[in-house]
Structure 1
Amino acid sequence: MKKIINYLGFALLTALLFVGCKKENQSEKAQSTQMENIQVSDYGVTAKGDSIKKYTLTNKNGMKVEVINFGGIITSLTAPDKDGKYEDVVLGFTKPEGYFNGNPYYFGALIGRFGNRIANAKFILDGKTYDIDKNDGPNSLHGGKEGFHTKIWTIEPIGNAEAPSLKLTYVSNDGEEGYPGKLTTTVVYTLTKDNALEIAYEATTDKTTVVNLTQHSYFNLSGKFTQPITDHELQLDADQFLPVNGTLIPTGERRNVAGTPFDFKTPKLIGKDINSDDEQVKLGKGFDHNWILNGTGLRKIATVYHSGTGRVMEVSTDQPGVQFYSGNFLDGKFDTKTGGKNEHRTGFCLETQHFPDSPNETSFPTVVLKPGEKFQSKTIYKFSVKK
């Protein structure tokens, strides 16, 4: 009997060890699979001595997205053309210093605390006036000179082989750039198996504040960054846009796009009306306005098509507006990643967001975030091919 008991005990121990080893091997395999789809490498060192890392997400199709923990910046994003060739389709600098030394165009950056402009760099909240950084003439732009695009984010690789993801976190202290409240922001970049980049935003605060988060990648679906984007075809699901004044602050009017250069309800070349005599086009030096999107919830709001390569980009969001910017202030000062310079209108942005100057315009959807509440938003850039 004793021998039988010892045998059973040995058999049970062997079985437990086998199960344990199997689980450990499965865990190691899963971790290995994840790391095959998320590569981490050294990127550069800032002037302050901070070592910056680059994270490369790759899906099973071969699409890649490169992100650095400085500014949460997307430095590269590839998409296939009609021949199956993957090329980088986002503008950026050739050297890390371009991002570290101001990034004047906000190439690829996460934007906060407040995307777009706030008039006269001030707003009133709960009866108190807040003066924020004035970095765009009389106004504040994209969170100020030291906005989220200049901060070092904590990055945690998450997800799986089907959907490699990065979770980025940044804590903005009370008073940073003049904004009230300690704001904790997380952004998750996910590369899906169907060639979509999903961006999920969350934010919480310990004091009533304002928040408007967005992503500032410039796209050129030709893959050739010296070529203008005026040959791209754009469709926007928006019946109205926000006219602006001379400093690009919305006037408060909601104007119908019908019969104006701002009508992209049916597909139209970006370049068709970009040099028209329309007063609003002249003020923006092209298109640099916020469109009021139709519908609510997560829905497709824009499609961009480049006939030369067959590339298609579809944009979905749950936000009420999108800033369509046609690269009017690109001025050829910097080298592109494919040679040549980033000249006038060689990239466009579709920045999903709440409306500009919302803290000062009560008729706009609110951007106020209170303690105990959670800001949540999602935007998807999906790439495909039309042959």
Structure 2
Amino acid sequence: MSTFETYNVQRLSVQPFGQTSTGQQAKLFILTNKQGMRVAITDFGAAIVSIFTPDKTGRLTDIVLGYDNVSDYQQDTYYLGAVVGRYAGRIDQGKISIDNHQYQLTLNTPDSQLHGGHQAFNKVLWHVEQNLQENDSQLTLTHISPDGDNGFPGEVRVSVTYLLTDDNELVVKYHATTNKTTLLNLTQHSYFNLAGHDSGQVHHHQIKINACHYLPMDKRAFPTGEIKAVKNTAHDFLQLTPLAKHIDSDDEQIQIGRGFDNYWLVDDNVLNGETYAAQAVEPISGRVLTMYSDQPSLILYTANYIDGSHYGKNNVKYQKRGALCLEPQRANNRQNGHQLSNTLLEPNEPFNSTIRYCFSVQA
């Protein structure tokens, strides 16, 4: 991680981002490093709005899907760029048990709670720390989720810090505490298209995932409880592999997800340090995204449910499979009594997690 010095560049700038439906003023915070890379973040949902990175010729292009104003983020159903919480993933029937106490969570799908429920972390205005310095490419946002929020027990105080280094790394750090045992599973839900957010489908992107095993899903998109080897399956990304090789295959898991949408169990991950998790390469531009994380699993999701009816930044119509998500998190399968990783948050055990996105170009 770089140690910052003062360069002839404005490290942090702030712009208005429109008003919410309740009259709150949202803002857009732009981080810039000495190489000209830029990352824009809104305080609504603590969402990443844009990431401008260079291609092999040095040309900067925005490589994540997003919107031009807060109103569009309020209407968004895809979690574009958002912090997902309290709980990333699906909870069957919204039913959880903690310390022998049963809780009924709110449902935002017919048979489950998805990504924390209604008005979850992606639909609130986060507080921005006031000690902002223009010579720092760093931003910290905080949110207090009250006891009973979407049915979850305990008050949760959460912060996310975005740090843009001069080595073209975007580091995302989460911290959370609670006053009562609860569940917590946070992730970052940026949609990447390394050719540019307006460049159509990502089938030609090459993917590598540091995982020898994945979790099959049932037809309701819940893990079955099985752990399967990726070898000789459509889910084998141990070497760089174009998404196009299997994304339209007749593999049952591909058919269930309409593309890729599974957990991979990251190898050599002990939760106490960052581990190489995945890589994406766009061969025409030469852009490379390498992701490190301290989480034991990740989801590769290929924007299978974006239907081509929504417009994003610069009035671009986003299409099915027009991006990919790499979502580090804790795979938690409570189906049939299986539990693959602990998502309990205890009052005396703060949650800390780091995702590191390293942007480069092929030699």
Q: Does the alignment reach a TM-score above 0.5?
A: yes
- Residue 261 of structure 2 corresponds to residue 285 of structure 1: no
RMSD: 2.1
Match of 2:36 among 54, 62, 65: 62
Q: Distance in 1 between matches of 2:337 and 2:359?
A: 35
Paired position in structure 2 for 1:320 = 296
The structure-2 alpha-carbon separation of the partners of 1:163 and 1:258, relative to structure 1 and needing over 3 Å to count, comes to farther
The structure-2 alpha-carbon separation of the partners of 1:226 and 1:133, relative to structure 1 and needing over 3 Å to count, comes to farther
Task: Give a deviation string over 1:326-345, Cα, whole Å, max 9, x none.
Answer: 11001111123355411110
Task: Give a deviation string over 1:117-162, Cα, whole Å, max 9, x none.
Answer: 1112111111111111211230111101211000111112668777
Match of 1:269 among 227, 238, 242: 242
Paired position in structure 2 for 1:7 = none
Match of 2:88 among 115, 118, 126: 115
Q: CA deviation at 1:227?
A: 1.4
Paired position in structure 2 for 1:71 = 45
Letter of the structure 1 residue corresponding to residue 204 of structure 2:
D
- Residue 153 of structure 2 corresponds to residue 180 of structure 1: yes
Q: Distance in 2 between matches of 1:258 and 1:47?
A: 49
The structure-2 alpha-carbon separation of the partners of 1:224 and 1:77, relative to structure 1 and needing over 3 Å to count, comes to closer
- Structure 1 window deviating more from structure 2 (137-146 vs 214-223): it is 137-146
> Between Structure 1 and Structure 2, which shows a larger proportion of helix residues?
1
Runs of at least 5 residues in structure 1 that lack an aligned partner in the other structure? 1-29
The structure-2 alpha-carbon separation of the partners of 1:376 and 1:358, relative to structure 1 and needing over 3 Å to count, comes to farther
Match of 2:279 among 303, 320, 324: 303
- Residue 350 of structure 2 corresponds to residue 377 of structure 1: no
Task: Give a deviation string over 1:180-219, Cα, whole Å, max 9, x none.
Answer: 0000001110001100110011111000001000110000
Match of 1:150 among 123, 133, 152: 123
Task: Decide whether the 8 Å contact of 2:225 with 2:338 is kept in 1.
Answer: no
Q: Distance in 2 between matches of 1:300 and 1:201?
A: 18
Paired position in structure 2 for 1:45 = 19
Runs of at least 5 residues in structure 2 that lack an aligned partner in the other structure? none
Match of 1:137 among 105, 110, 120: 110
Q: Distance in 2 between matches of 1:32 and 1:54?
A: 23
Task: Decide whether the 8 Å contact of 2:185 with 2:330 is kept in 1.
Answer: yes
Paired position in structure 2 for 1:92 = 66
The structure-2 alpha-carbon separation of the partners of 1:360 and 1:370, relative to structure 1 and needing over 3 Å to count, comes to farther
Q: CA deviation at 1:293?
A: 0.6
Paired position in structure 1 for 2:57 = 83
Task: Give a deviation string over 1:14-54, Cα, whole Å, max 9, x none.
Answer: xxxxxxxxxxxxxxxx9997992111121110010101111
Please report the TM-score for the alignment, with normalisation by the length of structure 2: 0.94
Q: Distance in 2 between matches of 1:159 and 1:97?
A: 25
The structure-2 alpha-carbon separation of the partners of 1:236 and 1:161, relative to structure 1 and needing over 3 Å to count, comes to farther
- SS of 1:350 mapped into structure 2: strand
- Residue 339 of structure 2 corresponds to residue 363 of structure 1: yes
Q: Distance in 2 between matches of 1:161 and 1:300?
A: 31
The structure-2 alpha-carbon separation of the partners of 1:114 and 1:183, relative to structure 1 and needing over 3 Å to count, comes to same
Task: Decide whether the 8 Å contact of 1:115 with 1:356 is kept in 2.
Answer: no
Q: Distance in 2 between matches of 1:339 and 1:367?
A: 39
- Structure 1 window deviating more from structure 2 (162-171 vs 376-385): it is 162-171
- SS of 2:143 mapped into structure 1: strand
Letter of the structure 2 residue corresponding to residue 243 of structure 1:
P
Task: Decide whether the 8 Å contact of 2:12 with 2:135 is kept in 1.
Answer: no
The structure-2 alpha-carbon separation of the partners of 1:326 and 1:339, relative to structure 1 and needing over 3 Å to count, comes to same
The structure-2 alpha-carbon separation of the partners of 1:74 and 1:358, relative to structure 1 and needing over 3 Å to count, comes to farther
Task: Decide whether the 8 Å contact of 1:327 with 1:344 is kept in 2.
Answer: yes
- Structure 1 window deviating more from structure 2 (125-134 vs 190-199): it is 125-134
Task: Give a deviation string over 1:327-372, Cα, whole Å, max 9, x none.
Answer: 1001111123355411110011001000144598543111111111
- SS of 2:93 mapped into structure 1: helix
Letter of the structure 2 residue corresponding to residue 242 of structure 1:
L
Letter of the structure 2 residue corresponding to residue 145 of structure 1:
H
Match of 2:164 among 191, 214, 232: 191
Letter of the structure 2 residue corresponding to residue 150 of structure 1:
K
Letter of the structure 2 residue corresponding to residue 239 of structure 1:
C
- Structure 1 window deviating more from structure 2 (35-44 vs 308-317): it is 35-44
- Residue 80 of structure 2 corresponds to residue 104 of structure 1: no
Task: Decide whether the 8 Å contact of 1:43 with 1:96 is kept in 2.
Answer: yes
Please report the TM-score for the alignment, with normalisation by the length of structure 1: 0.88
